Structure 1
Amino acid sequence: MDTIHSSRTRTSDSTAAGAIPRRSVVRNERLSSSAFGEAYLVWRCHRCGETGDLEAFPVACSNCDAPREDLYYWTED
């Protein structure tokens, strides 16, 4: 398992269940329109509700240490 360490988030390119394909890239994009406003794609923890940037999908929740399988993509205003 390849592990990437940044100043804030511990990440890897695999999951125990194989839920995320290796070398997947999800870019953080902003769509703007006067009719829709703005939204940001982030990750969110199913257990505690913590959210974070998608610079790299974390191995575990930074707040409650829930495993990656409890994290999902979330659109935030």
Structure 2
Amino acid sequence: MTKLNSTEKKTLEVLTKSFFTFKGDSHFRSYRQATAALNRLERLGLVKREDHDQSMYVATALAREWSQYPNVALEDVRAWLTP
């Protein structure tokens, strides 16, 4: 089961409410923390960079679906979305 730290959880909350985030947003304590959190979320397939602005991050369909079912394992939600 995939465990997220508090920064990664907060980032996903911000993404589901405002639809995008940047490395300079206020919920990050430092640029380094933002980079680490966003890179990990990107590797998990929960976040992607916008095509028109590489500094803007948006939630993927997997992240939006997983936020609706927080008690289900990420791998199970990924299996639902994969045909």
- Same fold? TM cut 0.5: no
Give the structure-1-normalised TM-score.
0.27
Give the structure-2-normalised TM-score.
0.26
- Greater per-residue helix proportion: 2
